[in-house]
Amino acid sequence: MTAIDPTLTVVPRARRPRDHARLHKNVSRGMLILYILFLLVPIYWLVNMSFKTNAEILSGVSLLPQDFTWHNYAVIFSDSTWYMGYVNSLIYVVLNTLISVTVALPAAYAFSRYSFMGDKHLFFWLLTNRMAPAAVFALPFFQLYSSVGLFDTHIAVALAHCLFNVPLAVWILEGFMRGVPKEVDETAYIDGHSFGGFFLKIFMPLIASGIGVAAFFCFMFSWVDLLISRTLTSVHVKTIGVAMTRTSSATGLDYGVLAAAGVLTIIPGALVIWFVRNYIAKGFALGRV
C-alpha cells in the first residue's frame, strides 16, 4: 500500500517532494475511510431495521425506515426479562474483567521478568485453555458448577469465562511488560521501593495501555459469549442470550426486536472502548522513572 521508495540514500532531498508525502497520506486516509465504511454498512442495516416494523422489514429493501417506529425498543425497555438480561450480563462481564486482569498482572510480570522451573511449558499450557471450543466445555461446566453450588450465579459465569480470558490477559500484559526495560525495575529497587510499591506506583502506570487493552479484550470476549453464560444460568440470572432466543417464536422471527436488541448489545462495548481509548492511544512513556 505504501509507495516503496527504491532508494535509501541516493536521491537528493529536493527530489523527495512534499507532494509525494501528501499523496501517500491521502491514499492511506482513503483506504481507512473505505474500510470504516465497510465496517459500518452492516451495522447501519441493523440500526435501520431496528426502527422498522416487522411488516416493513419483510416487505422489501428501503434505506431508511418508511414507517419509523420506537416499538421494538419499547418492547425491550418495558419487559424486565429483556432489560434485566442486559444488567445481568454486565454484572458477570465486569466481574470477569476485574478477576482476569487482577490475577493476570502478577503472573504476566513473573513471565516477563523471571525464568523459573517450567515457565515456558506453563505459559503455553495457559494458552491451550483458549483452544478448547466453547461447545465442548458447556456440558462439563454445567456439571462442575452445579456440584459446587454456584449454578445460576453471576460469579459462575465470571469464573467460567476466566478459562479463556485469563490466559489472554496474561499474554497481552506479558507482551507489554516485555517492552519495559528491566533497568526500570532495578532502579526502583535501588531507590528503596518495595515490590508492591514499585508495582502499583511505577510499573502499572508504565503499562497502563497494556492494562487497558487487556481489560478491553476480557470485557469483549466475556460480552460476546452467549453459549457458556446461557448454560450456566437459569432462573435468577437470565442473560441477554436467553432473552434473545425469545425473539423466535411459532409465528417466525421477530426481526425488529432482534435488531433492536442487537443494537443495544453494541452500546456497552462502545462505551468501554471509548473509556479505554486513552490508554491505547497514550502508549507508554519510556524512561519515566
Partner 1 sequence: MLKTQNNKAWFLVLPVLLLVGFSAILPLMTVVNYAFNDTFGNNAFFWVGLEWFRDVIRSERMHDALQRQLIFSAIILAIEIPLGIAIALTLPKRGVWASLTLVLLALPLLIPWNVVGTIWQLFTRIDIGLLGSTLAALGVDFNLGRDAIDAWATLIVMDVWHWTSLVTLLCYAGLQSIPEAYYQAGRIDQASRWAVFRYIELPKMQGVLLIAVLLRFMDSFMIYTEPFVVTGGGPGSTTTFLSVDLVKMAIGQFDLGPAAAFSLMYFLVILLISWVFYTVMTNLDQEKEEVPE
* Residues of this chain, 65-104, that bind partner 1 according to CB under 8 A: 99, 103-104
246 contributes a contact to partner 1 by CB under 8 A: no
265 contributes a contact to partner 1 by CB under 8 A: yes
Residue 188 C-beta: closest distance to partner 1, Å: 15
110 contributes a contact to partner 1 by CB under 8 A: yes
Residue 74 C-beta: closest distance to partner 1, Å: 20
Which of 68, 70, 124, 189: binder of partner 1 (CB under 8 A)?
124
23 contributes a contact to partner 1 by CB under 8 A: no
Cα dihedral value 173, 177, 178, 183, nearest 10:
-170
Residues 30-69 that bind partner 1 (CB under 8 A): 31-32, 35-36, 38-43, 45-46, 49, 57-61, 63
Which of 15, 55, 64, 143: binder of partner 1 (CB under 8 A)?
143
Burial class (CB in 10 A: 0-12, 13-18, 19+), 267: exposed
Q: Which residues contact 53 (CB under 8 A, 6 or more apart)?
A: 67, 69, 71, 256
Which of 14, 64, 131, 235: binder of partner 1 (CB under 8 A)?
131
126 contributes a contact to partner 1 by CB under 8 A: yes
2 contributes a contact to partner 1 by CB under 8 A: yes
Provide the grid cell at 165: 480470558
Between CA 196 and CA 205, with CA 200 as vertex, the angle to 5 degrees is 150
Residue 2 C-beta: closest distance to partner 1, Å: 4
**In this complex, which beta carbon is closest to partner 1, that of residue 87 or of residue 286?**
286
Q: How far is the C-alpha of 83 from the C-alpha of 50, rounded, in Å?
A: 16
Which of 171, 215, 232, 233: binder of partner 1 (CB under 8 A)?
171
Residues 185-204 that bind partner 1 (CB under 8 A): none
Residues 149-168 that bind partner 1 (CB under 8 A): 159-160, 162-163, 166-168
Q: How far is the C-alpha of 99 from the C-alpha of 97, rounded, in Å?
A: 6
**218-244 b/e (C-beta count within 10 Å ≥ 16 → b):** bbbbbbebbebbbbbbeeebbbbbbbb
Q: How many CB atoms lie within 10 A of CB 47?
A: 16
288 contributes a contact to partner 1 by CB under 8 A: no
**Angle in degrees, 0-180, between the axes of helices 134-147 and 154-178, rounded to the nearest 10:** 120
**Angle in degrees, 0-180, between the axes of helices 71-78 and 80-113, rounded to the nearest 10:** 80
